[in-house]
Amino acid sequence: MNQAGFPILSIAIFLPLAGAIPILFFRRTEVLLVRTWTLLVSLVELVVALGLVARFEPGLSEPQYVERLAWVPAVGIQYYLGLDGISLAMVVLTALLTVVAVIGSWNALDAERGKEYAAFLLLLETGVIGSFLALDLVLFFAFWEAMLVPAYLLVGICGGSRRIYAAYKFFLYTAVGSLLMLVGIIGVYVVRTQQGGTPTFDALVLAQTPIPPGLQLWAFLAFALAFAIKVPIWPLHTWLPDLYREMPLGAMVLVTMLVKVGAYGFLRFAIPLFPTAAATLAPVLAALGLVGILAAGLSAFVQRDLVLVIAYSSIAHLGFIVLGIFAFTHQAVEGAVVQMVNHGISAGALFLIAAMLYARTGSTRFDDLGGAAARWPVLGAFALVAMLSSVGLPGLNGFVGEFLIVYGTFTARWGYAVIAALGIIVAAVYLLTMFRRAMHGPIRPSLSGPDLSGREVLALVPLVALMVIIGVYPAPLLNSLEASVDQVTAHVQTVQAAPSAQVPLWMEQAR
């Protein structure tokens, strides 16, 4: 285990925050300074994240680079950070997407709202990375809440014409989930103290605390609803299309990481803390994931706006992630984590392409975009690769995650896997239709301006490169996840192997 003598995890969390503070003192007219400083901070953060990869030991199941400090010792709250294979993948992806978002938002960092835009991006990065590294429940909750504020401000201040509505809807949904999770955190803490255990909010210690199955149900539901809203799981998804439609498109490259924190919360907290309830409710949650795959796919097919197709496509892909998590087989959970990475890459690229189209046409409606590939062949080529990645074409990253999820689910619930496979076909139909409507056909009069600039190509190249690298050679990513995924599935498999697990005891005790 890499015990932190040097606080590299704290640096990874708070470097973007430290970088956001000077932006407040820049003059609004110093546009180039705002752009350059924001890019520099995000690049340094990426170097720090890649430094975590350099010394990471893939075979270890316990947290690495651990940092622990008493925060509120009277009640056992700690500043407790740690990294495993799952959080490593999420941190590196967040750092990369921030760099891409800054490059892709270069023109949005203007004299009007550029300062706010840049500061909110960096603050959002701090909240997201902190959520992936926190191992104390109260600390996680603090980062969870801190993550929501810049996202709310990004859409509320820098968003589109219906930004206030989207911001309020996003805030109300997430606030309800946050309050439920806080109740669950307090409940688990009280149970431990009543059992005579040392007061602590350490998630790893609490995962070893015996919690009565009846209480597990309610505590799991409190956590699960918060995470389900964030993922989002159908039918709690309606905030997401509104947010995505009104959020600045360049920022959407990073905002896609918000939903990953919800899926990560299931893997890191809800399942290890409440394995009996998780095992019992897994068929329901997996079924909701399936409904999300199909319902979002059908909704995507009838949209007339490129951004809304990408939004509903995201909901469908997140349904696959939920399905994989709650199949509780090693392959399915591993595929879910890989798909979390893939979604950030593929959806990030699609949103970036949508931003580039909007900059040239002032619209993302299909009626205004036909013939874009003929007008801008380089942009069309990047859009084709990103679309095929989302479809799950063999040789690209999307195929690896979807294959592992469907295969792992088949060994647990074959009927669910068959329905999921139908969802893949639906995805191919609406994504190919999206590409045809936006990129082919007669060239619209609204299409003007040059093809992609060198800066825009630079923003897309790392994402396309990762699509190919993960699709052709996923072994390094899968190896880094092996031990962490085993830890997640072990919690539930122990419960499932116990004779008492055959009887849903919580139903009797919850009455």
493 assigned to some structural domain:
yes
| Residue pLDDT, tens place only, 455-497 | 889 999 999 999 999 999 999 999 988 888 888 888 676 665 5
- Whether residue 339 lies inside any domain: the answer is yes
Which of 348, 283, 284, 288 shows the shortest CA–CA distance to 314? 348
Residue 51 covered by a domain: no
Domain residue limits at 491:
274-497
Give the C-alpha separation, 439 to 437, whole Å.
6
Residues 65-75, buried b or exposed e (16+ Cβ, 10 A)? bbbbeebeeee
430 Cβ contact list (under 8 Å, min separation 6): 297, 300, 301, 309, 313
According to the model, what pLDDT value does residue 14 have? 95
Q: Is residue 467 part of a domain?
A: yes
3-state helix, strand, coil in the chain (%, to 5): 75, 5, 20
Please give the pLDDT value at position 494: 66
pLDDT at 496: 58
Predicted confidence at residue 231, as pLDDT, reads: 84
Q: Is there a domain that residue 449 lies in?
A: yes
406 in any annotated domain: yes
Q: Is residue 10 part of a domain?
A: no
Query: Can you tell me the distance from the alpha carbon of 293 to that of 240, in angstroms, rounded to the nearest whole number?
Result: 15
Among 272, 256, 283, 269, which residue's Cα sits nearest to residue 339?
Answer: 256
* pLDDT at site 124: 92
Contact yes or no for 407/331 (Cβ under 8 A) = yes
Q: Is 297 within the bounds of a domain?
A: yes
d(CA 335, CA 481): 10
Ranges of the chain whose pLDDT falls below 70: 1-5, 111, 491, 493-511
**Residue that the structure tokens 């799950």 belong to:** 392
Q: What are phi and psi of 393, to 5 degrees?
A: -65, 130
- Specify the number of domains making up the chain: 1
Task: Look up the pTM and report it.
Answer: 0.90
